[in-house]
Amino acid sequence: MTAALLGAALLLAQLMLAVAMGCAALRALVGPRAQDRVLALDTLYVNAAMLLLVFGIRTGTTHYFEAALLVTLLGFVATAALSKFLMRGEVIE
Amino acid sequence: MTGAAEIPFWAALPVAVLVLFGAGLGLTGSIGLLRLRGFYERVHAPTLGTTLGIGSILIASMLFFSVLQTRPVLHELLIAAFIVVTTPVTLMLLARAALHRDRAESDPSVPAPAAPTAPPPPA
């Protein structure tokens, strides 16, 4: 009973997060401008971190936590670097 | 499913509810990112997932592993602190970059930069 409830909730959450990542990927594909794509990439990173945490709860191991931490770190660095590029790439060049 | 059968029902219920709530907020934010029209509207939508969504999933993860290992497992606070610090920074940088790009193209839909303050009168 308990395992069935938790398993169903985790499966549903995984499906919802997969659809969310699909929406973010679609926005990154269609654009229409560069800042929309960067924003969609940032959303994709956060959704991936959430999906990794749900995987960690599902398997009962803490190894997925480190992967989620790495994904959030890389997402911050990537978004900050791309924003600085969008800000400076057109003006100073 | 190694651990889910071992935790009691009183802990499984809030874990399930919090995980579903967080995933629902993430999905809402991503659908908003897809559906809203302009960039300045779209930049608001994913913050649902990046604040409350990942926060509730982190609380669910902390509760699950604390009950499973019968000791406080709080390393998820690292991700929470990091997300709280970085999300406003990245989105502020991105919004300012977009505003800068729109002004550089003299897009009429964005407000002009604030007028420079007048120099102090000569004494």
In this predicted complex, what is the ipTM?
A: 0.85
User: What residue spans of B36-109 are helical by DSSP H?
Assistant: 39-42, 47-48, 54-69, 76-104
Low-confidence ranges of chain A (pLDDT < 50): 91-93
- B79: which chain A residues are within 8 Å (Cβ-Cβ)? 49, 53, 65, 68-69, 72
Q: Which of B89, B32, B27 is nearest to A36 (CA)?
A: B32
CB within 8 Å: B23 and A36: no
The pLDDT > 90 percentage for chain B reads 18
Scanning every residue of chain A, which has its alpha carbon at the shortest distance from the alpha carbon of B98?
Answer: A35
User: For the segment B27-72, what is each residue's pLDDT rounded down to a tens digit?
Assistant: 999 999 888 888 888 888 888 888 899 999 999 999 988 888 888 8
For A56, how many CA atoms within 13 A lie in the half-sphere containing its CB?
A: 25
What does pLDDT average to over chain B? Answer: 84
pTM of the model: 0.85
Name the residue among B23, B30, B83 with its Cβ closest to that of A23: B30
How much is the pLDDT for A93? 46
How much is the pLDDT for B5? 64
Scanning every residue of chain B, which has its alpha carbon at the shortest distance from the alpha carbon of A86?
Answer: B97
User: What 8-state DSSP symbol labels residue B114?
Assistant: P
